[in-house]
Amino acid sequence: MHQRIGSYRIERVLAEGGMGLVYKGRHESLSRDAAIKTLLPKDAGDAALRQRLLREAQAQARLQHPNIVSVYDLIDEKGELFIAMELVEGGTLEALLQQRPHGRLPLAEGLPLFEQVLGALEFVHGERIVHRDVKPSNVIVCGSRVKLADFGIALLGDLPRMTASMHLVGSPPYMSPEQLEGKRVDHRTDIYSAALVLYRILAGRPPFEAKEYLAQVQERVAGPPALRALVPELSSGFCDALAVALRYDREQRFASVAAFREALREGAAGFLFQEAKTVETPAVAAEVPAEPLVIAPEPEPRSAVAVVAFVIAGAFLAAVAVLTRQLDRQPFPVAAPPQKLTSMTPPPLPIILEAPAPAPSPVRPEPEKRLAAEQPAVKKKPREDEEQRGLVSDALREVEALRQQVQLGLKAAEAEIETRAREAEEALWASRLQDIENELRAERWPEAKRFATRLANDPRAPEAVVARANALLQQAEDGLKDALKDIQFGPTTNTSRKPSSPPRKDR
C-alpha cells in the first residue's frame, strides 16, 4: 500500500473493486480528508483504463453541485494516475436497500432521496454530459443527503468519444435499450436508468434480472413488471409517470429530467398523469443539452407491444361492431304472451331477435279468438328458431375469426422480438469488428491485435465473426512485424573483453 500520494498521507484502504482501488488520505497542509481513487496494480499499465480514469476526473472536475462528489486534484506519480475527491461518509444506496425490510423504501422516504439524484442529473445534462452508469451502487447516501458518483464512462459532449472497449459500456441490469443494442445515447438514456433505480427503491427488486444478452434485449422490449402490482399503495398517476420514463422508444420518454420530476411529484400528490407533459419543450436551457449529443437519431421500428395492442384493439372494435348490429335489431313486443318451453324448445339465448309487432287492439278479444290469433305465431316458431341458430352461428364464426387474428398478432409480436434481438446482436458484433478496423487504420497494432485476439476467442461469436477477427488479427501481426523492421539496431561490440592469455610454456 502507498504511504504517500502527492501531498496526501495515506491512512487506509477504503474500498477495492474489480477495476479500482480507493484510499483514504489526508492533505497535511490543508488538514482535509479525501478519497483517492486509482487503478488496481495489475491494471496500472492498461492504456484504455488509464484513459477512462482520466475521463472520469475531467467529467467530475467541472461539476460543482451539492449532489455530486467533487474532485480536488488529479495526481500523476511515476506514471500512475490518482484522483483525489471528496470523502463522503456514508454507504451506497444499494447497501441501504439491502439493510431494509423486503429490500425497499416507502415512497415518503425513497422519493426525496431520488429527487436529489434527479437534481444531480439535471445539472450534469446542463453541462452536456451523459453519465451512462446510473445505478444504486453509484449513489452514495449520507443521512438525508445523496451524492452521485463514478463518472468513469461518462460521455462528454465537447470531447471526442473513447475507443470502444469491446464490451457493453455500463451495468446491464440498469442499461437502457439503446445501450444494450449498441446505439448512440443521449440524456434520455440517464432518464431511463434513473427510472430503473426508482423502481428498485420502491419494489425491493431489480426490474430486469436476465443474464443472457438476448433475454436482456427481450426484457426491454416487453418492459418491466407493473410496479403497482408489486406496490398496490402507489397511485396510478405516479406509476404512469414512471412507465413513460421506461418506454422502449426514447423519443416517447420525458424530454428532460425536470419534466420527469414534475410528473412524479404530481402523481405522488394524487393527480392523474397528463401525456402532454412528455412533449413539452423545456423552459430552461440547462435542463437539456443545448446541442443534442445525438445527431440524426435513427428511427425506431414499431415495438412488439404496439403490435399486440393494435391486434387486441382491432379485435375489440370488431366485437363491438357485432354487438351493435345485434342491439340495432327490433326487440320482441312487451305485450306478446310468453311461450311455454317444452323439451323440444331450446333455452333462450342472450341475443335479441326480430319479431313483428302485433297490431294494437282497443278491445280485449275473447279467449277463443285469442287462441285463434296465436295460432299463426306457433306456425312461425320453426322459422324463428332457424333464424336464431343462424345468428348464433354467424356470431361464433366472427369470434373464431377474431381469435385467429389475435393468435396471428401474438406470433407476429414474438417474431418481431426475435428479429430485434438478432439485429441488436449482429450490430454488437459489427461494432466490435469496426473497432478493430479503426485501430488498424490508425496503425495501433498492439491494440488491434489484443482486440482481435479477444474477439476470435469469444465462444459466443458466430463463425463468420470469428473468421473476420482472425483475418484482422493476421493484419495486426503483419503490421506489427513491419513496424519492428523499421527499428534499426546498431552493432554490439564488447569493449570490456580481456585480452587473450599468452600460450603456456611446456615445463
Residues with catalytic roles: 133
**Cβ atoms of 189 and 149 closer than 8 Å:** no
Which residues lie across from 9 on neighbouring strands?
4, 26
**CB of 267 within 8 A of CB of 240?**
yes
Rounded CA-CA distance 69/86 in Å is 6
Whole-number Å distance between alpha carbons of 14 and 24? 6
Run of H or E including 33: strand 32-38
CA dist., res. 264 & res. 240, Å (int): 9
The three grid cell numbers given for residue 467, joined into one nine-digit string = 473468421
Count helices and strands (H / E) in the chain: 13, 11
Question: Shortest CA distance to 81 belongs to which of 30, 28, 34, 45?
Answer: 45
Sheet holding 21-27, edge to edge: 4-5, 8-16, 21-27, 32-38, 80-85, 71-77
| Residue 345 one-letter amino acid | T
Supply the angle between the helices 367-441 and 213-222 in degrees, to the nearest 10: 140
Which residues face 25 on adjacent strands?
10, 34
Contacting residues for 78 by C-beta, under 8 A, at least 6 apart: none
DSSP secondary structure, 317-358, as one string: HHHHHHHHHHHTSPPPPTTSPPPPP-TTSPPP-SS----PPP
Tell me the CA distances in angstroms from 451 to 434, 455, 463, one per residue in order: 11, 6, 17
- Written as one letter, the residue type at 193 is S
* Residue appearing with cell numbers 489526508: 26
Helix, strand, coil percent values for the chain (each to nearest 5) = 50, 10, 40
**At residue 78, what is the residue type?**
K
Tally of CB atoms within 10 A around 78: 5
Amino acid at 211: K
| Lookup: cell for 436 | 478493430
453: buried, middle or exposed (CB in 10 Å: 19+, 13-18, 0-12)? middle
CB atoms within 10 A of CB 127: 15
What is d(CA 150, CA 52) in angstroms, rounded to the nearest whole number?
A: 11
Kind plus residue range of the DSSP H or E element containing 10: strand 8-16
What angle separates helix 257-268 from helix 107-126, to the nearest 10 degrees?
Answer: 160
